[in-house]
Copies of this chain bind each other. A is one copy, B any other.
Amino acid sequence: MSAFENLMAFQHETEALAQVAGRLGWDQETMMPRGAAAQRAEEMGALENVLHTRRTDPRIGEWLAAIDDTALDAVGAAKMRHIRRSYARATKLPDTLAAEIARVTSRAQGIWAEARAADDVAHFLPTLAEVVRLKREEAAALADGGDLYDALLDDYEPGATAAEIGAMFDRMRTRLVMLREKIMASGRNPAGITGRFDEEGQLKLAQEVASHFGYNFKHGRIDKAVHPFSSGSGTDVRITTRVDEGDPFNCLYSTIHEVGHGCYEQNIAPEFGLTPLGAGVSMGVHESQSRIYENQLGRSRAFTGWLHGRMTTIFGDAGAADADAFYAAVNRVHSGYIRTEADEVHYNLHIMMRFDLERKLMDGSLEVDDLEAAWNTRFEHDFGVAVDKPSNGVLQDVHWSVGLFGYFPTYTLGNVYAGCLNLAMRSAVPGLDDDLARGHTEAATGWLQEHVQRHGGLYEPKEVIERACGFEPNEGPLLDYLDAKFGALYGV
């Protein structure tokens, strides 16, 4: 066998084992008996050790040295791009540091949860300082003298830079704050929906909606979990949802969101399965799929019209006066502290704030002791309200406790990509709203499958969006879409 064939065979087993780890993670959140956590940590640790050993196996280095990428076809070259990047990252990071990060973040997550429950920032800060120190050390090991934040960001969004994202976010922020203020000043305050919506009906409708968005139950399943997520690639892509009987949008829109993630994984070309191309190419592109399913399609006037009808049939009453009131309720803009509950207008403001703060934590211009004050000042400026307590402020997200620095901006990047894709898709798919009004998304999701999803890891993140859209991705289409949609809804 050639070095390339040996490497691909080795990689195939590694990818298969990574899928096993994913399945174990799914099980932990859905099926695992509650007393099995300690043993599961041992099981997961053993599997992670196997994966780490494989990812840093010196034979990979030998194979990489022996392979001439320029002699390969586009698919082979793309596989090499992924393997070279991940091998370089894996071997740059000292084993002792990786182990210390794993140990500290595992403990930090528990301390963060305690601090959030007690609204006690001081309880979390020493641990956060340790996490920040270790992540800076990790970034330094990875950065080769370059920007520390970029070195972390690269793990989630290969090729992206903080400078480029930061410049774009600054342009967006001005327009978003302006839109937010106009909406708040409009005097319009549409009602949310009212009523109780039984769990069984919500889960049945969630399954139906998932099918309507093209989720393939032959290669997936939906279960309840505390947090909605999507897990797995190829022919085994599972999603979770949750139910609040007073708020059916929680279940329905988190389902549509995860269906977007899940369809991306399910629709990657089967020949990429268990290769480095067999998963979504970046967090940003992943989020573009979940967001366009959830927002540009799922929260459109046309689709909510269909949903209003289905909810009326299933629950007797959809909790709104008519389809227009239902649409206004789905898209209600409201001040709120919590990122995960934010509407389309506020959401990106949450992200930009976190991005700016975590960049400063990484470049050392902000100390963790000053983080809460910086958070609260920025929040009041951008959101027009003061943070009332840490659990509604700096303690709300798990990310920093588990060391996810560089992850937050991919959420807004996903929204930006979704805005671009929506523009291109709407011009490529005529009569889309007529379809959506009948609950049909095939034309839209088919376009996304063809132009984005099936490529998996074949192209670089930005490249796949640019190829799909025919223009370089930028924030304009998203902001135009938000201005138009919410301008109409709020008469501003």
Residue on B nearest A273 in the bound complex, by CB: B39
When the two chains form their complex, are residues A43 and B19 in contact, meaning their CB atoms are under 8 A apart?
A: yes
| In the complex, A349 has a CB within 8 A of chain B | no
The one of B16, B33, B40, B235 that contacts A33, using a Cβ cutoff of 8 Å: B235
Indicate if the CB atoms of B16 and A43 lie closer than 8 Å: yes
- Judge whether B219 and A33 touch: CB under 8 Å: yes
Assess A20 versus B39: contact at CB under 8 Å? Given A218-B34, A236-B33.
no
Stretch from A24-32, A129-137, A184-192 contacting the other chain: A24-32
B contact residues around A16 at 8 Å (CB)? 42-43, 45-47
Most chain B CB within a 10 A radius of its CB, from A32, A39, A216, A274: A39
Residues in chain B near residue A46, CB distance under 8 A: 12-14, 16-17, 20
Chain multiplicity (copies):
2
A315 at the interface (CB under 8 A from B): no
**Contact (Cβ within 8 A) B17 A47:** yes
A217 to B221 CA separation, bound complex (whole angstroms): 24
Taking CB atoms, residues of chain B closer than 8 Å to A274 are: 39, 42
* Bound CA–CA A17/B16 (angstroms): 14
The answer to whether A50 has its CB under 8 Å from any CB of chain B is: yes
Complex partner residue of A23 from B24, B35, B38, B49, CB under 8 angstroms: B24
| Chain B neighbourhood of A238, CB < 8 A | 33
User: Quick check: B221 and A39 within 8 Å, CB to CB?
Assistant: no
Report whether A47 and B20 are in contact in the complex, using a CB–CB cutoff of 8 Å.
yes
Q: Tell me the complex Cα distance, A19–B43, Å.
A: 7
A216-246 contacts to B (CB < 8 Å): 216-221, 234-236, 238
Alpha-carbon distance between A151 and B127 when the two chains are bound, in angstroms: 56
A99 at the interface (CB under 8 A from B): no
Do A236 and B47 touch across chains, with their CB atoms under 8 A apart?
no
| Residues in B neighbouring A218, C-beta threshold 8 A | 33-35
Counting chain A residues whose Cβ lies within 8 A of the other chain, the interface size class is 35 or more
User: A33 CA to B223 CA in the complex, in Å?
Assistant: 12
Residues A253-272 near B (CB distance < 8 A) = none
Question: In the assembled complex, which residues on chain B have CB atoms less than 8 Å from the CB atom of A35?
Answer: 216, 218-219, 235
Whether A31 and B221, one on each chain, are in contact in the complex, defined by CB atoms closer than 8 angstroms, is: yes
CB distance from A271 to the nearest CB of B (A): 13
A70 CB to closest chain B CB, in angstroms?
A: 30
Which of B13, B24, B235 is the one whose CB lies under 8 Å from A49?
Answer: B13
Q: Which residue of B lies closest to A30 (CB)?
A: B31
Q: Is A36 part of the binding interface, using a Cβ–Cβ cutoff of 8 Å?
A: yes
Also in contact, A24 and B20, with CB within 8 A (given A39-B235, A46-B13): yes
CA distance A159 to B19 in the complex (A): 39
Partner of A43, one of B17, B50, B219: B17
A236 and B50 contact, Cβ closer than 8 Å, known pairs A23-B27, A33-B218, A221-B31:
no
A14 surroundings in chain B (CB, below 8 A): 46
Q: Which residues of B contact A39 (CB under 8 A)?
A: 19, 234-236, 273-274
A321 to B238, CA, bound (A): 48
Q: Which residues of B lie under 8 Å from residue A216 when comparing CB positions?
A: 35
Q: Mark A197-228, 1 if CB is under 8 A from B, else 0.
A: 00000000000000000001111110000000
How far is A27 from B31 in the complex, measured between Cα atoms in Å? 10
A40 to B234, CA, bound (A): 10
The chain B residue sitting closest to A220, CB to CB, is B33
Q: Are A236 and B19 in contact (CB under 8 A)?
A: no
Docked CA distance A40–B50 (Å): 18
In the complex formed, the residue of B with least CB distance to A232 is B36
A35 to B238, CA, bound (A): 12
A182 to chain B, nearest CB (A): 47
Interface residues of A in 46-75 (CB under 8 A from B): 46-47, 49-50
Q: Is the CB of A219 within 8 A of B36?
A: yes
Complex partner residue of A38 from B24, B45, B235, CB under 8 angstroms: B235
By Cβ-Cβ distance, the 6 closest A-B pairs, closest first, are: A16-B46, A35-B218, A36-B236, A13-B46, A36-B235, A16-B43
Extra inter-chain contacts (7) besides given A17-B50, A33-B217, CB under 8 Å: A13-B46, A16-B47, A20-B24, A20-B43, A20-B46, A35-B235, A50-B50
Chain A to chain B contacts (Cβ below 8 Å), 24 pairs: A13-B49, A16-B45, A16-B47, A17-B43, A17-B50, A19-B43, A20-B24, A20-B43, A23-B24, A27-B27, A31-B221, A32-B236, A33-B217, A33-B219, A33-B235, A33-B238, A34-B218, A35-B216, A35-B219, A36-B234, A36-B235, A39-B236, A39-B273, A39-B274
Q: Which residues of A contact B (CB under 8 A)?
A: 12-14, 16-17, 19-20, 23-24, 27, 31-36, 38-40, 42-43, 45-47, 49-50, 216-221, 234-236, 238, 273-274
